[in-house]
Chains A and B, each alone.
Chain A
Amino acid sequence: MADLTTDFLGIKSPNPFWLASAPPTDKEYNVRRAFEAGWGGVVWKTLGEAGPPVVNVSGPRYGAIHGPDRRLLGLNNIELITDRPLEVNLEEIARVKADYPDRALVVSLMVPYDEKAWQEILARVEETNADGVELNFGCPHGMAERGMGSAVGQVPEYVEQITRWVKKHYQRPCIVKLTPNITNILAPARAAKNGGADAVSLINTINSITSVDLDNMAPEPTIDGMGTHGGYCGPAVKPIAMNMVAEIARSPDTAGLPISGIGGVTTWRDAAEFMALGAGNVQVCTAAMTYGFKVVQELISGLSQWMDEKGYGSTADFVGAAVPKVTDWQNLNLDYVTKAEIDQDLCIKCGRCYAACEDTSHQAIAMGEDRTFTVKDEECVACNLCVNVCPVEGCITMRELRPGELDPRTGMTIPEDKRTWLQHPNNPGADPLACIVRGQ
């Protein structure tokens, strides 16, 4: 079996699966059980300043989006940081770390924009022997109204300043957790890097309203007739998170900054994808909250089976492997042509591909008398919509036309070399030489 041991910022864990800072990591009881279940590490639920802890609502704090069969696809929450006293948390952290020296234990922090406040809490954290800290610049509700969380994360200067303070007053690794509630993720990532962060983790939750109670005319979850936006997470946010991870991994000024990938990780495959896009490890919250700690067993067995099949000896072998393949649209080969192909043995003749293509795309699917569905190569632009709406996995696939083959739609023969928008004759700004070389 593949070795899943992961070294992230010098913090070793038996596997790259950490629990994200959230209810699953809010107390000793949970974290011990998580470690027993096999989790490689945890980021403890965010701690605030000493003194009276924050107060949570005591009505419903979650809203949800379900897929068919009530599969939980997206969760939102209006929970704050830990509502237990700082002292209790710190004692528990120290105890758990002592008992599980081989697991990663990172402490998430959120205190006001004030060097002294950070200095004080860091000194307390240091005493617990925790492996590092994560700065929560992400929570989009509640704490943001008090000038913390995403209110910090949305201002690169604050991010940089606090990171500097932390690096000044704390010796162990510092991870900066980014909020996705921002137009360009590179700005806070750069700020974190400039401030000296050892890594960034992302994403925290996304501003959201999941549903509206149409009888009481109030957003849900509803607290005594009123609602507020909450933080969205779970499988639904994975694509957003992965794009942000990839942007940081490939941008020249942030490339190489270690990343902890968060957002919708539910299966081994999600984890492998985040890691291929440059995440050194992943953090999980919603999947654990939906299925319990045991879900890590599938993450472990699946990732190791895949690594064995691919011949990867360690996670470092594939972390970032897909980053060079992430590019700007303008660098895509416009002479690359594929055609949809329907496997008649797998097709159940539901006609979804036809409806999608006929009504909303390129009228490239023919429906025969006997409900045989076939692709018209002369119309198919290879948009992939039919592949995505077909209920049978693997039934519609894309066939790549080889150089020398004729594309019946355009009448063009597929050339040997590639041509991107930068060389395309329709691009007013293109390099004209590229066309001459091709004899056009």
Chain B
Amino acid sequence: MANFADLHPPLSDHEALVAADRCYFCHDAPCMEACPTTIDIPLFIRQIATHTPEAAARTILTQNILGGMCARVCPVETLCEEACVRMSAEEQPVEIGRLQRFATDRLMAAGPQPFERAASTGKRIAVIGAGPAGLSCAHRLAMYGHEVTVYDARSKPGGLNEFGIASYKAVDGFAAREVEWLLGIGGITLELGKALGKDLSLDALTEEYDAVFLGLGLTDTNKLGIPGEELEGVVDAVDWIADLRQAEDLSTVPVGNDVVVIGGGMTAIDAAVQAKLLGAESVTLAYRRRREDMPASRFEQDLAASKGICLLFNATPAEIRGEGAVAEIEFTRTGTDARFTLTADQVMKAIGQKLGAALGLETDGRKIAVDGTGRTSREGVWAGGDCASGGEDLTVTAVAEGRDAAEDIHAKLMGEG
């Protein structure tokens, strides 16, 4: 479906050279500081400018093994590109994200992942969750020569890269290809369809393995807690997106004519945009607070608006009505008694995900509590990514946390930490 073409098309060689030429090679570069995985951005851009994109890719992947996916999905407008000094100079940052994609695409097209495994250490580590956090952790551990088993409850690896990220951000099965490529390092065994809490227990895992890393993500969703939530046509946006991502034929994905999406984050935007792209007549995104409070960036808001989505602010859902199936939804103007109603034959809830189970570990807020290196309250158990405290819920943050936990696990197991 042409509608689902690449959001940011890849740069041609000429575009890449022109874009790279704009980088100042800043000292202690602010963009680098703003990248959760601290990629050496000035260096990799210089490597592109000097016609060695493969070297550039190595610079990127050393810090972030999912640099290919991050180049596609990072909200760069709130991360590296926001910090770029050319934002202050001309409000036109160096196109870091697209340059990152240029380099990583080049290297990935040329062959296998470029890292070698160290000699076997004989240590065995269980990683639960094959999302960005788990994969990044597993790759780093494999690089150090450890033997890693990655368990995931789903039938496919990739976590939200595979099941959540909007289809126009990672076209042509990129998520699956990237996982395949990453596993090329060797030393990583994938065990799919194995759920912790069902098929596996933390006690057994800590018993069997030298260390356990939890990259579980957030498997539960928040409820609206208003009348009508159980009506047919009221869906969880993440589930709906997962179905969309896995659909062989997009025309089979159920989409309403009048779609109302409730929420204000990336999931809400992605659901709204994709509903529109699938052919919904009208899509309204209703957020309960002001525009300035919206977690989705201005770039994403504008993206939604450009697709014809109506953004509604200060709208608190009060009641969903309909005979068996949803027909309309009533809101209050946040903080007032004023009420209004929208026609809706599909309501998508995108009001946040939460941790499935804390597995007896200490929590911090609603997440598994970890220290700066990912250690949980239980000896021998580390956690990172969306399920763990600290950092934003982003792919790149998950990669950083998985990598850092791997470094700590390695140091601990080799008696250095």
Contact = CB atoms under 8 A, between A and B. Distances in A.
- Our verdict on whether A and B bind, yes or no, reads yes
Interface string A288-331: 00011011011001100110000000000000000000000000
A268 B50 contact: yes
B54 A298 contact: no
Contacts of A301: 47, 52, 55, 58-59
B52 A302 contact: yes
Contacts of B13: 393-394
Given A268-B52, A292-B27, A392-B14, A302 B47 contact: yes
Contacts of B349: none
B300 to A, nearest CB: 30
B17 interface: yes
Given A292-B27, A294-B43, A301-B47, A346 B54 contact: no
Interface in A27-83: 69, 71
Interface of A: 69, 71, 267-269, 291-292, 294-295, 297-298, 301-302, 305-306, 346, 392-394
A269 B49 CA distance: 11
Given A269-B51, A305-B54, A346-B14, 20 more contacts: A69-B21, A71-B21, A267-B50, A268-B50, A269-B50, A291-B25, A292-B27, A294-B43, A295-B25, A297-B43, A298-B43, A298-B46, A298-B50, A298-B55, A301-B47, A301-B52, A301-B58, A302-B55, A392-B14, A394-B13
29 contacts: A267-B50, A268-B52, A291-B25, A294-B25, A294-B27, A294-B42, A294-B43, A295-B25, A297-B43, A298-B43, A298-B46, A298-B47, A298-B50, A301-B47, A301-B55, A301-B59, A302-B47, A302-B50, A302-B51, A302-B52, A305-B52, A305-B54, A305-B55, A306-B52, A346-B14, A393-B14, A393-B17, A394-B13, A394-B14
B interface majority secondary structure: helix
A62 to B, nearest CB: 18
Considering the complex of A and B, which 9 residue pairs feature the smallest CB-CB distances, nearest first? A301-B55, A267-B50, A302-B52, A298-B46, A291-B25, A305-B55, A305-B52, A302-B50, A392-B14
Contacts of A305: 52, 54-55
Contacts of B25: 291-292, 294-295
B22 interface: yes
A392 B43 CA distance: 24
A306 B13 CA distance: 18
Contacts of B55: 298, 301-302, 305
A229 to B, nearest CB: 30
A269 B27 CA distance: 22
Nearest to B49: A267
Contacts of A291: 25
Contacts of B51: 269, 302
Nearest to B55: A301
Contacts of B22: 69
A393 B48 CA distance: 14
Contacts of B59: 301
Contacts of A69: 21-22
B38 to A, nearest CB: 14
B20 to A, nearest CB: 12
A298 B46 CA distance: 7
A266 B386 CA distance: 43
Contacts of B50: 267-269, 298, 302
A291 B51 CA distance: 18
A292 B50 CA distance: 17
Nearest to B42: A294
Quick one: which of B13, B27, B52, B58 has the most chain A CB within 10 A? B52
Contacts of B47: 298, 301-302
Contacts of A294: 25, 27, 42-43
Quick one: which of A69, A298, A346, A392 has the most chain B CB within 10 A? A298
A294 B46 CA distance: 11
A308 to B, nearest CB: 9
Quick one: which of A294, A306, A394 has the most chain B CB within 10 A? A294
Nearest to A268: B50
Nearest to A346: B14
Interface string B43-72: 100110011101100110000000000000
Nearest to A267: B50
B270 to A, nearest CB: 34
Nearest to B17: A393
A408 to B, nearest CB: 30
A169 B290 CA distance: 81
Contacts of A302: 47, 50-52, 55
Contacts of A269: 50-51
A295 B13 CA distance: 23
Nearest to B12: A346
Interface in B301-344: none
Contacts of B21: 69, 71
Nearest to A303: B52
A258 B22 CA distance: 38
Contacts of B58: 301
Contacts of A267: 50
Contacts of A392: 14
A302 B53 CA distance: 9
Contacts of A394: 13-14
A184 B403 CA distance: 58
Interface in B4-52: 13-14, 17, 21-22, 25, 27, 42-43, 46-47, 50-52
Interface in B57-99: 58-59
Interface string B386-413: 0000000000000000000000000000
A97 B348 CA distance: 68
B60 to A, nearest CB: 12
A292 B25 CA distance: 9
A391 to B, nearest CB: 9
A305 B50 CA distance: 11
Nearest to B86: A69
Contacts of B14: 346, 392-394
A303 to B, nearest CB: 9
A294 B28 CA distance: 10
Contacts of A297: 43
A267 B21 CA distance: 13
B399 to A, nearest CB: 22
Quick one: which of B25, B27, B46, B58 has the most chain A CB within 10 A? B46
A428 to B, nearest CB: 46
A415 to B, nearest CB: 36
A267 B43 CA distance: 12
B248 to A, nearest CB: 34
A268 B51 CA distance: 10
Nearest to A291: B25
Contacts of A71: 21
Interface in B137-166: none
A268 B54 CA distance: 14
A231 to B, nearest CB: 24
Quick one: which of B13, B51, B55, B58 has the most chain A CB within 10 A? B55
A292 B14 CA distance: 27
A301 B50 CA distance: 10
Contacts of B54: 305
A316 B46 CA distance: 26
A329 B55 CA distance: 38
Nearest to B53: A305
